[in-house]
Structure formats: structure tokens, C-alpha cells
Amino acid sequence: MNRKEQLSKLNKTTEWDVIVIGGGASGLGTALDAASRGYKTILVEAVDFAKGTSSRSTKLVHGGVRYLEQGNISLVKEALKERGLMAKNASHLIKNQSFVIPNYNWWGGYFYTIGLTIYDLLAGRLSLGRSKYISKKKTIELLPTVETKGLVSGVIYHDGQFDDSRLAINLAQTAVEKGACLLNYTKVINLLKDDKNQVTGVTVKDQESGETYNIKGTAVINATGVFTNAIMKLNDTVYKKYIVPSQGIHLVFDKSFLPSDHALMIPKTSDGRVLFAVPWHNKIVVGTTDTLIKKQSLEPIALESEIEFVLETAQRFLAKKPTRTDVLSVFAGLRPLAAPKEEGKSTKEVSRSHKIIVSETGLITITGGKWTTYRKIAEDIIDKAITVHHLPKKQCTTEHIPIHGNKATDTSDRENHLYIYGSDIPKLLELQNNEVELKEKLHPDYDYTMAEVAWAIRHEMARTIDDILARRVRLLFLDATAAIASSEKVAQLLAKELGHDRTWIKKQVSEFKTLAKGYLLSEFE
């Protein structure tokens, strides 16, 4: 996947069947669905693939235990089916993760065992394992640092765990392999319309060259997540709010706070939310929050109240109490929830189901949804595009399309940090062996090598330090201080590979350091 090749594809095509705006989970899934059905497809992303919400999730592929509690059976059933398909089609990135719920009252164990048994039954043959009630002793054995005071029992259940932005990159690669044209750093600045006020395409600006292009197509899909309202402003004559952003934050800690392969799930926190402590890339990710916010941003910042809430809850359930100084990285993400009809609804009550809006102009917009159901969302969008824009009818095939890198992996494979590259591992190792300087470590405390940086630039369309350290190699999300220390080295290789000068390097490092400070908790003290 190479940006120069993609630009060449753009220049050679005069008319597209499907134009997708937005390179997050829904957009990438839609581009893959459309291209695999044989439609001429282009996707444009204003910054980098998965820069927004799609790289900032809790890293779970799940049916949604909370939605089951709310009685939303259809959403749970759909998500559980999609969880199974994701595990099959991107087996290098998705793993079966066991979760333990510690119970501090006598009825909790029975209540959650019954509920989670229904969860398993809804998954049918795609179930990842049976839920069961476990004793206090077994709970402590599985979660060695769980708070034992008042502990009565536990419940163990299974769900999926994954690396979100890595899946996004692999989806992009798969879409390109199926014939789609994908461009990052290409911003939509206008919607093209005919004399009947129907959307006929988009005007985009290449953020690197400054060049503008008019891209014409039959169906235009707005999959911009939390930035939906901005595209709708270009589309509508009367402004209306289509989505409400809800912020969720995560704190990342050293594995010693939960030295286990099992995740901790707290089903009811002090304000009724669900909180997870999940093992991820040899660290522990703790979150999330659910805070309605007024303004969307590419780099949302965790609120002090959210940090306090996550810390305080983690301290209540872990015997080894994490403090502010233990936080290696803090990241915030915005969920694009479909705006409720009634004002003032809490985020817990706003539907997570996706919603497709067809404007009078013919623009198709997707709101809501989540990573787990990205494939089904994409299928629904393209089915809608066929109906609305009379595209030749072709069946969806993505249920059975392996994602780039798909490779069966077992637990021992995952002990090597390269597992996320799946079937690309041999090529990556070959690159490392052929170019000696690429064997060098990115940071002395981590196993990442410069070969992974080169790979990201040459094959994964990485253009900036942020692209590499936040979304290709996940160092910014795992240890912000280590990422800052690695930035100069990454900038130098980027400059060498992409033909930039010293001034560019200096600017890049400075911009990245400013951005990375938002991931350091000391900034809030």
C-alpha cells in the first residue's frame, strides 16, 4: 500500500461508483465491502487512517454485556455474530480473552452467571467459551492482585480482544488489494452538487501537496464519525446536530498491577458504568468513561474528573493501588453517538446501534455503531447505496474475506510482539536481516525495531511520527515518555524514506512532542 500509487489511481479514474469520506472503522469497512463487490471505490481521509475514535477504543471485540442488561438482545446477537467473524477473518489480531468479574456480595455470582450464560447462548456456535461461577479462591488465583477484602466469589466469561488501529491498517490494505483507491491526508473541502441539488462528488485537498481534486461518483458516503456534523454543514441548508460526541478515556499501567492473562471486569461502578482492566501488549489498559462533551477534537484530552474516576475505581478493586505517577499513558477517544431525539439524555441511554441517514441530496451518512460491528455496518451502507443510487445489484461477500495478515496464531505466537503483522512477519524479518541498520531497537526498553518503522512507511502509508508511534507501532499509547524519546529517530528515517529535509525533521519532532504531552498525566498536575 503506497500513497504515490494511490494518487496515480485517483488521476487515472474519471468517475467512481462509491466515494467514502472517512478512514475509520466504518469507512474502511465500507470501502472494502464496495470494492469486494466490484464497485469502483475511493476512500479519502483528512488525516491518517484510524486517527480518531478507531484507534482509541477499549481494545475489545464484544457483544456488549451492558446492552444485554439493557435488554437490547438484537444488538448483542448481531455483535456476537460479528465478533465470531472477526476472529475468523483477522485471527492474527483478535484473540479469545477471558474476563473475571469479582463479586463482593452473595447474589452477584449467581446473577452474573445467569446473565452471561444467556450471552453465551446468543453467540451460538460462535461462542468463545462457557461462562461459569468460580469460588473466591479461584478468583484470587486468576486475578492475583484483586482486592480480597469482602470478596465472595467470581464469574469468568469470554470475549474478544484486539489491536484497533492495526486492524484499520490491515482493512485498508485489504481494500486496496480488492481494487479500491485509498488516500490519507486528503481532506474533503466541498461537496459537488448538480442543478437538482444532488451530491455528485467531492472536492478534496491533498494536505501534503496542497493540490485540489474534484472526485465525481454515484454514491457518496459520509463515514466521518465525530466529524459527521462538519460534513453535514456542507450538505444541508439548515444546520442540525446528527451526532453527539461522548468521551471515553483509558489509563495504561505496567503489567505488575494485574499480572495475569485474565482481564478484570467491573460491571457496576459508583455511577453505573462498566470498567475494564485488560492485558494489552504486555501492559494493562484501564477504562473507560462515558462523558458527553460539546466539541469534537482530533486529539481529545482526558478531563481531570475522568482521570480521578478511573484511578479511584481501579484502586477500589486492585490490591496493588495504582496512582497518578504509575500512569504510563492516558488516551481519550470520542464516540460518535447518534443524537437522541430528546435533549439531555445521558450517554448511557444513547443508542450504540448504527443509524443510516439518507439526505435529500442523496448523501448517505452513518452514525453510531462500534468496532465489533464494522463489517455489518458496511454491508448495510452499501446495500442502502444500491437502493438509493441504483447501483448494479451485487451481493456482499465480506463474511468470508480474510483480512490482510490473517494467520492462525496460538498463545506462544503472541509472546513475540511481531504477532500483529500476521502473515507479513517473514517479509518484515527479511527486511530487518537485509538492511542491518534496521535491526536497531526503537527504544532500549522495548522490542520494536527500526524495521517496523521502515515497514510502516513503505507498506502502510505512514507519513508522520504520530502515524508510526501512535497507530502502526503503539508506543505512544503504551508509554508516552518512551515514544517521545524515540521521536527523533523515527523522524530521521521518515525524512530519508520520503525525501524531507532537516527543517521538516525539526518541525515534526516539535509537533509530536507537543501532541505526546497530552498522553502524559503530569500535564494535568
pLDDT tens digits, one per residue of 464-519: 999 999 999 999 999 999 999 999 999 999 999 999 999 999 999 999 999 999 99
CB 466 within 8 A of CB 502: no
Mean pLDDT of successive 10-residue stretches along the chain, which has 525 residues: 96 97 97 98 98 94 77 83 93 95 90 91 88 96 96 95 97 98 98 95 97 98 93 84 88 96 89 87 93 88 94 94 96 84 50 81 92 96 97 97 87 81 95 92 96 98 98 98 97 97 97 96 56
Q: What is the set of domains in the chain, with CATH numbers?
A: 3-53+165-242+352-400 (3.50.50.60), 94-160+244-338 (3.30.9.10), 413-524 (1.10.8)
Residue 277 bridge partners (DSSP): 264, 286
Nearest residue to 165 via CA among 93, 251, 89: 93
Rounded to two decimals, what is the model's pTM? 0.95
Residue 209: CB atoms within 10 A of its CB come to: 10
pLDDT digits (tens, 9 = 90+) for 438-461: 999 999 999 999 999 999 999 999
CB 115 within 8 A of CB 101: no
Place of cell 437522541: 340
Q: Can you say whether residue 455 is alpha, beta or left, with left for phi > 0 and alpha for psi between -120 and 50 degrees? A: alpha
State how far the Cα of 43 lies from the Cα of 183, in Å rounded to an integer: 6
